[in-house]
A and B are shown apart, each in its own frame.
Chain A
Amino acid sequence: DAGVTQSPTHLIKTRGQHVTLRCSPISGHKSVSWYQQVLGQGPQFIFQYYEKEERGRGNFPDRFSARQFPNYSSELNVNALLLGDSALYLCASSLDQGARTPLHFGNGTRLTVT
């Protein structure tokens, strides 16, 4: 079975631009979560979506938004990029909302903002 897939794998953007990152969950998983991992730190929670509704939001500015589609895939959007947004963005899928069931992570999208 295919795991969590993310695209693109790498991305370079300029300050002020907008970016869209994509995630396809494991088949049968209805929950998708997004995490940001800055170099040398553990991942930080950004959003969780379950059944196409936002079920959790971390401490990130409104420049960050996300949505989940009927097929349970998800997009993370970041507007007005800052240098500090450079990070590895990880998507995880799970059977249920919250983090009670195991989260399965993709390989991430490496975003570099110049």
Chain B
Amino acid sequence: KQEVTQIPAALSVPEGENLVLNCSFTDSAIYNLQWFRQDPGKGLTSLLLIQSSQREQTSGRLNASLDKSSGRSTLYIAASQPGDSATYLCAVSGTALIFGKGTTLSVSS
């Protein structure tokens, strides 16, 4: 059974800091891995999708990597801003998406 773990559960950083969020999964037989952002009480916004054959994807200040063999992914956020404050969810795809519990990020100005 696929299990997804995200570390840390919460993170507080000052504005401008670079940071890394971690995601690990137990079964490497995945189609892709997605990183989502969720603001309080809201739905999910897709940030990056990495196909199983890819190693990384970049969008603006965000970079996500995927190491299928070790069952790990990282989301790197450069030059963090207060507007980045949200919960970040990692999900791996089999027949459906399996989510981690998320990392709640707080960026202070």
Genuine A/B complex? yes
Q: Which of A75-111 contact B (CB under 8 A)?
A: 88, 90, 92, 98-100, 102-108, 110
Residue among A35, A88, A99, A106 facing the most chain B CB atoms (10 A cut-off): A99
Q: Contacts A106-B43, A110-B41 hold; do A100 and B32 have CB atoms under 8 A apart?
A: yes
Closest A residue to B36 using CB positions:
A105
Size of chain B's interface in residues, with CB distance under 8 A? 24
Answer yes or no: B34 CB below 8 A from chain A CBs. yes
Selected from A56, A58, A90, the residue in CB contact (under 8 A) with B43 is: A90
Contact at A45–B98, with CB atoms within 8 Å?
A: yes
Interface residues of A in 21-58 (CB under 8 A from B): 33, 35, 40-45, 48, 55-56, 58
Sort chain A's interface into a size bin.
20 to 34
A residues with CB within 8 A of B: 4, 33, 35, 40-45, 48, 55-56, 58, 88, 90, 92, 98-100, 102-108, 110
* Contact A40–B101 (Cβ < 8 Å): yes
Min CB distance, A66 to chain B, in Å? 13
B interface list, Cβ under 8 A from A? 4, 31-32, 34, 36, 41-46, 49, 89, 91, 93-102
The residue of chain A having its C-beta at the shortest distance from the C-beta of B4 within the complex is A42
Contact indicator B102/A42 (Cβ below 8 Å): yes
**Which chain B residues border A103 with CB–CB below 8 Å?**
34, 46, 97
Q: Is the CB of B42 within 8 A of A108?
A: yes
Of the candidates A44, A58, A100, A105, the one whose C-beta lies within 8 Å of that of B31 is: A100
